[in-house]
A and B are shown apart, each in its own frame.
Chain A
Amino acid sequence: MDNDDGGDQGPLRMDDPWHDAAGTGLWVPEQQAAPRPPHPEAEPAADGRASAYLEVQDSAAFREVRDRYRRFVFPMTAAFLLWYLLYLVAATTAPRLMAHQVGGGLNVAMVAGLAQFATTFLLTWAYARHARTRRDRLALDLRWSLATRTGQERVR
């Protein structure tokens, strides 16, 4: 994976790995004004590869993938964590409420517990479906276009 010969700026060896990344439009002014010394131990990200990733990160296609992912995952994570904490806190601090009978010999606690299982299964299905239909194809396209640019893809 350190094989960088696919990048067009490969032979350029500068002390500052950011050198060729300028012009991709990602730079905030104060960072441009004071370039930092490169991490001495960081993986030797060659200039061509780094600029390829910066470009892709800024591309509309990638932002679409990222937004779709985050717009689904962040609210869902917040929701199921909140629902779990609510259940946990209610069961430990309000046992009276949870003991309330709801019919069929079941109480609120049992229904809520089984509902936790149900929502877990449901969200698993929803996430897998969302990823398959909304993200996978776009992500794969990006992966192949990057593979041709960075030359770091292995054949499988």
Chain B
Amino acid sequence: MRGGGPLLAQAAGERHGLAVLLFTVFVTATLAITVWAGRRRSSSEEFFAGGRLFTPMENGFAIAGDYMSAASFLGISGLIALFGYDGLLYSVGFLVAWLVVLMLVAELVRNCGRYTLADVLAARMRRRPVRIAAGTASVTVSILYLVAQMVGAGSLVGVLLGGSDSGTARTWTVVGVGALMVVYVSFGGMRATTWIQIVKTVLLIGGTIALTVLVLLRFHGDFGRLLNTAADHSGHGRAFLDPGLKYGGSWTSRLDFISLGLALVLGTAGLPHILSRFYTVPTARSARRSVVWAIGLIGVFYLMTIVLGFGAAAVVGSDTVRDSNAAGNTAVPLLAEALGGGAGTTGGTVLFAVVGAVAFATILAVVAGITLASSASVAHDLYATWRRAKVAAGEKKPSAEAELGHGEVRVARFAAVGIGAVAIALSLLAQDQNVAFLVGLAFAVAASANLPALLYSLFWHRFTTRGAVWSVYGGLVPALVLVVLSPVVSGRPDALLSGVDFHVFPLENPGLVSIPLGFLAGWLGTVTSREPADEATYAETEVRSLTGAGAA
């Protein structure tokens, strides 16, 4: 990554100037959105759910914006450019996951909750323990995801600037991204965050369509010819189009990929920032239609990243991509430059700058969405639980609920600052580490801690408070412990801790073990409960989840 390679070194000045200009325009526009959204009255419904009156199309674009990270845009195309088919294999899990969200989660969660995942559980359980458990798991998932995104933003700057002072540039990028996301969230709340996601999705899809059209034009619309050229220029021949170049090594690495695939497909439905998006529309029917929009956008986007990835291999060549960045993250920028006419030409410079700016916009929007969801968990789940305990202990005022709402918004604004500070600090500590595993880990924790509790709560009439608490911690704790005991933390040259080796668990991704454990713990906790499930609150949850009666 350092040094950048011959292509990147050329014409560096004007390219960066243009990229910085485009990015400044984006930041200015998003800050204007934030100011506009922040002028509204700050009720908790406004702050956490953006007033609940977004249309399905708007929310679908925002969901896609929350989901399509720079890791998808640059990372997956880069994987395809370097490893061919195995990159495509990775992207399939990200899309199929949306069927779980569409069929089992979106409408029911919209009907049962107000702002967070914990709302759904608390509707039929004792509030205090389940809110603390679900709030803790949600914040954990969010922090893992945030650090992955912010470190990615830092290395993206290093890659795109490619200069000698990229270390300083990376540090300032991480700090800048963190500061911006805190400003968006604490001043603009859900309304600003949603509009930022929408703008980002339009930019990202627009940029991707333009590049895809250029690639297909170059190959006269012949996908087969594109694949064959890619295989020829990959250095692998026909094997480039077959699975196995990246994930087909040892049996451990194959099992690791299956674990990751399972985490991706089940984790999406447990991501707090995705779940909170369903509360921004008025009804379950609009939640469903938002997901249909999102699946359309995300599916088309991943199909286009396949074209871009193979296009980068065919037009730029896998070796050039690898020389520029060992992880392949520069494949799309390099492809854009080549499609525009090559390094040093006006077209190449413009396209390179556009791709760089779009990638930054993508990162900013994603981190804002995650920060909002996690500050909602802190305020609405953790703080409100603590506050209710205090109100219950002291004298109970009739206006306590209303006050709590305003208190929650104030706490959420401060929580965004706190989470931002924690994420910046962790990202700066981790910025020289290989943190690619963090995204997979965030999905694994979401799939093991959040999804079992959510599904049991919606579908199993015998599910109890103890079952809910056990399933959250029974997924969360094994997932984190297994990662600490895995080769990503110790025992490998690129591990987080060098010089020590205490790894006993062979896989990088804990999903294969921790997801079944989460489901098992929920079942065990339920069957060993002394207090049986509450039939009336389950009746209420079930009826509300399917009819929308009494929905917030």
Contacts and interface: CB of A to CB of B under 8 A. Distances in A.
Given A53-B540, A89-B258, A80 B96 contact: yes
A117 B303 contact: yes
A60 B537 CA distance: 19
A98 B548 contact: no
Given A43-B537, A85-B261, 10 more contacts: A1-B550, A53-B544, A66-B542, A80-B99, A84-B92, A92-B89, A107-B242, A113-B92, A142-B547, A153-B550
9 contacts: A39-B125, A50-B540, A84-B261, A88-B257, A92-B248, A109-B241, A109-B242, A142-B543, A152-B549
Chain A interface SS verdict (over half): helix
**Which of A42, A65, A92 has the most chain B CB atoms closer than 10 A to its own CB?**
A92
A147 to B, nearest CB: 6
A53 B536 contact: yes
A77 B95 contact: no
Given A56-B543, A124-B295, A116 B536 contact: no
A23 interface: no
Given A21-B536, A105-B224, A124-B102, A81 B546 contact: no
A105 B242 contact: no
B346 interface: no
Interface residues on A, range: 35 or more
A117 B99 contact: no
Contacts of A50: 536-537, 539-540
Contacts of A124: 98-99, 102, 291-292, 295-296
The size bracket of the interface on B is 35 or more
A21 to B, nearest CB: 6
Interface of B is mostly: helix
Interface string B141-162: 0000000000000000000000
A62 B544 CA distance: 11
Interface stretch (B281-289, B490-498, B500-508): B281-289
Nearest to B108: A69
Contacts of A92: 89, 243-244, 247-248, 254, 257-258
A41 B126 contact: yes
B422 interface: no
Interface string A86-119: 0111011101001100001111011001001100
A17 B388 CA distance: 21
B536 A117 contact: no
Contacts of B299: 117, 120-121
